Structure 1
Amino acid sequence: MKNIVLTGFMATGKTTVGKKVATTMSFGFIDTDRLIEKMANMTVSQIFERHGEEFFRRLERAAVKKVARLKNFVIATGGGVVLNPSNIVQLRKNGVVICFVARPEIILRNIGENKDRPLLLSDNPEERIKQLLKKREPFYKFADSTIDVSDMTIDEVAVEVIKAYIRLKKG
């Protein structure tokens, strides 16, 4: 069995949906951001603050190499994991890559008052979301399947992920 790899922008529900899908399918679950925090012994925000994005991306590559070797796991990746094409190559070796997309206002609503998003610390977070989405859009296209989660419940997204996985696993 292959892994289910969830990519997409921050606050699109990768972790929440991933846990639900893992439970439904009796798969393990791992979140690369939580793994990175464990490796560094600090939060993602602290890593960005103290060491910068480049250092974080190096840790992310190491985390991806680790999780890519797992079997029967749902892997929720950080929003920027797609920026390094080798991450997707690694994850695809033993998994199907499903990308979540959502409209900027939905992402902003999902983030709410959460200040633990280092890339959104700006005067205009919605504008920053739009900039980041535009920059990452070409990378998100490398997914095996894309689901627009903007107007869906967690349960609906989970069902779509499982359907996509079954369809892609055959191919």
Structure 2
Amino acid sequence: MLDKKIILCGFMASGKTTIGRALAEKINIEYVDTDELLVKTYGMDIPTIFEKYGEEYFRDLEHNIAKKVVEMPVAVISTGGGMLTFERNGELLKKNGIIICLVRDFDKIYEDLLADKNRPLAKSKSKDELASLYDMRISKYQKYADYTVENNGSPEDCIKKIISIIDES
């Protein structure tokens, strides 16, 4: 039986929410998306928080959510794309679960970001700037990740890989 939280990290549009929901359903445990929890807890969507209060304020709220999820029972938790780029969140989450970094080809990520209007950082950056951010963030995710899983195929393939990791843990 699973006795640790499964924490998914990765860049924006790497599949954390899609994979997280499906994985939780497949292994029959709760699913928590930290961005959704943040919006529900603070009553504002993320673009509004960025616009009204700035990124630093958002990151403080995000840290509060990290503290909240580690107190929850075993679950699959999808983190926001920037959450594990901050040491305070990375250290906290690493002590409280198995961290799996989802990686996708950047061009696939970029296509999805262009189609999604609900990503404040993606809207304000060029493709080259996003590629640089992707490269910088991947190394930070790797610092905390126990495992890295490619998500360039079907969600089912990615979920199978994660389940085999869980079974070995």
* Bin of the TM-score, shorter chain as denominator length: over 0.9
Deviation at 1:148, TM superposition (A): 1.8
Are residue 57 (structure 1) and residue 54 (structure 2) matched?
Answer: no
For each residue in 1:67-123, what CA deviation from the matched residue of structure 2 results, as whole angstroms up to 9, or x when unmatched? 012222000000001111221221122210000111211101223421111001236
Q: Which residue of 2 aligns with 1:41?
A: 43
Structure 2 unaligned residues grouped into runs of 5+: none
For each residue in 1:32-90, what CA deviation from the matched residue of structure 2 results, as whole angstroms up to 9, or x when unmatched? 00111112211111111111110110000000001012222000000001111221221
* Aligned residue type for 1:104: F
User: Do 2:7 and 2:98's aligned partners in 1 also have CA atoms closer than 8 Å?
Assistant: yes
* Aligned residue type for 2:154: T
- Taking the aligned partners of 1:11 and 1:18, their CA distance within structure 2 comes to 12
* Aligned residue type for 2:17: T
Deviation at 1:25, TM superposition (A): 0.8
Structure-to-structure mapping, 1:42-121, within 5 angstroms:
42-121=44-123
Query: Structure 1 residue runs of 4+, over 3 Å off?
Result: none
* Aligned residue type for 2:129: R
Aligned residues: 166
Q: Which residue of 2 aligns with 1:137?
A: 138
- Taking the aligned partners of 2:51 and 2:58, their CA distance within structure 1 comes to 10
User: Do 2:14 and 2:103's aligned partners in 1 also have CA atoms closer than 8 Å?
Assistant: yes
Aligned to 2:14, the other structure's residue is in SS state: coil
Aligned to 2:115, the other structure's residue is in SS state: coil
User: Do 1:122 and 1:128's aligned partners in 2 also have CA atoms closer than 8 Å?
Assistant: no
* Aligned residue type for 2:159: A
- Taking the aligned partners of 2:46 and 2:166, their CA distance within structure 1 comes to 29
* Aligned residue type for 1:138: S
Q: CA RMSD in A?
A: 1.3
If the length of structure 1 is used for normalisation, what is the TM-score?
0.91
Structure 1 unaligned residues grouped into runs of 5+: none
- Taking the aligned partners of 1:62 and 1:113, their CA distance within structure 2 comes to 29
* Aligned residue type for 2:23: V
* Aligned residue type for 1:64: A
* Aligned residue type for 1:14: K
